[in-house]
């Protein structure tokens, strides 16, 4: 039997070329008024100042999902933690929910209270579009997180993870493993999430596109449901169908707990296991050499949303940019975490 790739030293990660890395909202060198004027943008009162400098207190309403998944729980907690960093933020958090009607009522409450900004990860982007548009019409900037609205008029700024980029990162890294380990005719498997979701389709398409660049393709594919139980069930079926696998990409590290259990139960350790999202379990398994890598889908999106909402409410821009306005759309990078860089990302790992 060949030595498991996931027990070897990990290789340098390949970044997804199509993702835009949002590097945060703090300034290293405050921009002068003259410099901001030369940029061609309209100079607002505070746009050139250091972004972390305390300003007028702003009230930010936050509504997120029910924390029934490790990544979703991390979304909510990261928003709370980001707000706590700033004495000039008063955060009003609605109870997490998967009920679109209840979430609509939360946003209506924020509008009636006259909050200064709203950060919203919608249960259903289309269902929340109308109420978000009403907030915008009321002069309240809305920061849309992760699940997009169906109208450009519903949000001032949208901040997203890169699902297609996740697939590209995973596929590019798989190609690298094939080349570095000189694997002839590799058997590559994919454990997707819920197939009906656009995010799953985007991840799969990115993976397939990246593999095609090195002449490879997916040999075995199964779809789970982003849960531990479904991950274990579909992986057990996959292992029965494929007596030898060289590389597996699992879309989601929460369902990856079940994937790892199925591998352990079957005594299968010949493959390189690449995960997705960046859970603390995955980070620890990478450190231990039980898992090759994971591709981040940042659980910090709501935290970034809070920081952007603060800037918008205080009439500030992102002073690391020459453009003095907060961008309308930010897509976060999907880096690959390996043994070589896991220490850099460990603090971002969320508990499944």
What lies within 8 Å, CB to CB, of 56 at 6+ separation is 88, 314
Q: What is the fold, at CATH topology level, of the domain defined by 5-16+163-296+340-348?
A: Rossmann fold (3.40.50)
DSSP letter at 300 equals T
CA angle 269, 274, 275 (to 5 degrees): 115
Q: Rounded mean pLDDT of 188-199?
A: 95
Q: Rounded mean pLDDT of 151-172?
A: 97
The predicted-structure confidence for 54-112, as pLDDT tens digits, reads as follows 999 999 999 998 988 889 999 999 999 999 999 999 999 999 999 999 999 999 999 99
The three-state secondary structure class of 217 is coil
Given 1.10.630.10, 3.40.50.2300, 3.40.190.10, 3.30.572.10, which CATH number is that of 33-160+300-330? 3.40.50.2300
The predicted-structure confidence for 276-314, as pLDDT tens digits, reads as follows 999 999 999 999 999 999 999 999 999 999 999 999 999
Q: Count of residues for the chain?
A: 352
Q: Rounded mean pLDDT of 329-347?
A: 96
Domain with CATH 3.40.50.2300 in the chain: 5-16+163-296+340-348, 33-160+300-330
**Which tokens hold the place of 248?**
């597996």
Over the chain, what is the mean pLDDT? Answer: 87
Distance CA 264, CA 268 (A): 6
Long-range contacts from 208-211, C-beta under 8 angstroms, 24+ separation: 208/167, 208/171, 209/167, 209/168, 209/171, 210/167, 210/168, 210/169, 210/170, 210/171, 210/172, 210/174, 210/175, 211/171, 211/174, 211/175
DSSP letter at 153 equals G
What does pTM read for this prediction? 0.81
The predicted-structure confidence for 117-138, as pLDDT tens digits, reads as follows 999 999 999 999 999 999 999 9
Q: Which string of DSSP letters, residue by residue, matches 291-331?
A: --EEEE--TTHHHHHHHHHHHHHTT---TTSSS-SPPSEEE
Reply yes or no on whether the pLDDT at 210 is more than 60: yes
- Answer yes or no: are the C-beta atoms of 172 and 16 closer than 8 Å: yes
- Answer yes or no: are the C-beta atoms of 327 and 59 closer than 8 Å: no
Distance CA 280, CA 352 (A): 7
**Which tokens hold the place of 1?**
């039997």
The predicted-structure confidence for 4-50, as pLDDT tens digits, reads as follows 444 333 333 333 333 333 333 333 333 333 333 233 333 344 444 57
């Amino acid at each position: 039997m060949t030595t498991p790739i996931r027990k070897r030293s990990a290789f340098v990660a390949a970044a997804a070329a199509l993702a835009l890395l949002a590097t945060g909202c703090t300034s290293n060198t405050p921009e002068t008024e003259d410099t901001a004027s030369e940029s061609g943008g309209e100079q607002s009162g505070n746009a050139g100042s250091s972004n972390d400098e305390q300003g007028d207190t702003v009230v930010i309403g936050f509504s997120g999902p029910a924390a029934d998944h490790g990544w979703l729980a991390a979304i909510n907690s990261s928003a709370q933690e980001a707000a706590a960093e700033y004495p000039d933020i008063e955060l009003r958090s609605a109870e997490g929910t998967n009920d679109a009607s209840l979430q609509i009522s939360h946003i209506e409450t924020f509008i009636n209270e006259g909050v200064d900004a709203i950060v919203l990860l919608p249960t259903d982007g289309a269902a929340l579009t109308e109420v978000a548009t009403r907030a915008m019409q009321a002069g309240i900037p809305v920061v849309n997180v992760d699940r997009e609205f169906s109208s450009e008029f519903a949000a001032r700024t949208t901040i997203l993870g890169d699902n297609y980029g996740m697939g590209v990162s995973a596929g590019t890294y798989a190609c690298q493993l094939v080349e570095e380990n000189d694997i002839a005719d590799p058997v590559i498997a994919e454990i997707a999430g819920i197939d009906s979701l656009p995010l799953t389709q985007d991840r799969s398409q990115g993976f397939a596109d990246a593999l095609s660049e090195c002449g490879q393709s997916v040999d075995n594919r199964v779809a789970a449901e982003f849960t531990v139980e479904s991950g274990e069930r579909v992986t057990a079926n996959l292992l029965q169908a494929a007596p030898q696998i060289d590389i597996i990409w699992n879309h989601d590290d929460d369902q990856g707990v079940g994937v790892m259990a199925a591998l352990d139960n079957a005594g299968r350790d010949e493959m390189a296991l690449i995960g997705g999202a960046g859970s603390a379990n995955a980070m620890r398994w990478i450190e231990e050499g039980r898992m090759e890598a994971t591709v981040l889908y940042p659980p910090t999106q709501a935290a970034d949303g809070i920081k952007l909402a603060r800037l918008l409410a205080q009439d500030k821009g992102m002073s690391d940019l020459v453009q003095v306005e907060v961008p309308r759309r930010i897509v976060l990078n999907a880096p690959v975490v390996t043994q070589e860089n896991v220490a850099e990302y460990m603090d971002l790992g969320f508990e499944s």
